[in-house]
Amino acid sequence: MNQSVLPWPWQRRSPIGAGTTLSCDVGCIGCIGRCSQLCFPPARCHPLWYIARLMHTLKYLTAYPEQLRTQVSGLIAQDRLGDTLRQRYPAPHGIRTDRALYDYVQDLKDEYLRQAAPVSKVAFDSKIQVVQHALGLHTAISRVQGGRLKAKHEIRIASLFRDAPLPFLRMIAVHELAHLKEKEHDKAFYKLCCWMEPAYHQLEFDVRLYLTWLDLAGARLWNAEPAPLSR
Ligand SMILES: [Zn+2]
């Protein structure tokens, strides 16, 4: 599962981010309802329900080659997906507040896109993934200021990235920052993403693996919240 076998980004159908939809192109046939979160690993499932559920779960990876999807299916079948991700990314980043997130994104912007329009707000948003089926949002609100039309840029990042490793946060931050200059998910857009983060495609793939894990297990792999004090 390395970057060299990933498809060229402009051939992909469902990129992450603003205005995009991570939609499921395999119809759900009720597998989730029948096959509860508790019946994973698959040995305890009816095989047909398991296959249906697996197809549903791989919805985040539909744009990737069959060979790669088969490898992911293998990891899921062996119940190794979570461990694989945690081995690759051992620790969460610890950026917990919107203020800290703003500073992180602003530092990235200062480093790579100093000339681009300013970003007025950056925040974690718990509603993004549920409501918009996206992981990040970039909004440009046009306002007349001093007789000129000025766009105010805001970036919202799905709150699942609050409890995630730094490379995942960097991927989505790079993605949303790239929209300051490139509106479409086209060749120029991904070129800009890769300039800011050379491992961009690998990271986007790994984020999709994590979404797959969340669908299966329902629990986050990284939790930066300190453990509550025992009484
Ligand atoms: Zn986008």
pLDDT (mean) for 117-127: 92
How many angstroms is it from 85 CA to the middle of ligand 1?
24
Mean pLDDT of 201-208: 94
Q: Tell me, what DSSP letter sits at residue 21?
A: -
* Span 23-64, pLDDT tens digits: 222 222 222 222 333 333 444 455 555 666 666 668 889 889
Ligand 1 centroid – CA 5 distance (Å): 22
The pLDDT of residue 10 is above 60: no
Q: How far is the CA of 188 from the centre of ligand 1 (A)?
A: 12
The mean pLDDT value for 184-202 works out to 95
Is residue 179 within 8 Å of residue 18, measured between CB atoms?
yes
Ligand 1 mean position to 16 CA, how many Å? 6
- Which residue spans of the chain are classified as CATH 3.30.2010.10? 98-197
Q: Separation of 50 CA from ligand 1 center, angstroms?
A: 32
Q: How far is the centre of ligand 1, averaged over its atoms, from the C-alpha of 230 (Å)?
A: 43
Q: One-letter amino acid identity for 93?
A: H
User: From ligand 1's centre to the CA of 173, what distance in Å?
Assistant: 10
| 228 against 96, higher pLDDT | 96
- Inform me whether the pLDDT recorded for 155 exceeds 80: yes
* Residue percentage of the chain with pLDDT more than 70: 68
Q: What's the confidence (pLDDT) of residue 196? A: 97
208 CA from centroid of ligand 1 (Å): 15
Distance 184 CA to ligand 1 centre (A): 7
Residue burial 176-211, b: 16+ Cβ < 10 Å; e: rest: bbbbbeeeebeeebbebbeebbeebbbbbbbbbbbb
Q: What is the pLDDT of residue 138?
A: 81
Whether the pLDDT of residue 9 is over 70: the answer is: no
Mean of the per-residue pLDDT values for the chain? 77
The pLDDT of residue 226 is: 52
- C-alpha of 222 from chain center: 14
Q: Per-residue pLDDT for 94 more than 60?
A: yes
Maximum mean pLDDT: which of 67-71, 102-106, 122-126:
102-106
Residue 20 has pLDDT above 50, yes or no: no
pLDDT class for 120, splitting at 50, 70, 90? very high
**Average pLDDT in the 196-209 region?**
95
202 CA distance to ligand 1 middle (Å): 16
Arithmetic mean of pLDDT, 79-91: 95
pLDDT at position 123: 95
Question: Ligand 1 centre from 114 Cα, in Å?
Answer: 20
- The CATH H-level (homologous superfamily) assignment of domain 98-197 is Metalloproteases ("zincins"), catalytic domain (3.30.2010.10)
Determine the straight-line distance between the first and last CA of the chain, rounded to whole angstroms. Answer: 45
Half-sphere exposure at residue 95, Cβ-oriented, CA atoms within 13 angstroms: 25
User: Quick one: the chain helix, strand, coil %, rounded to 5?
Assistant: 50, 10, 40
pLDDT at 39: 35
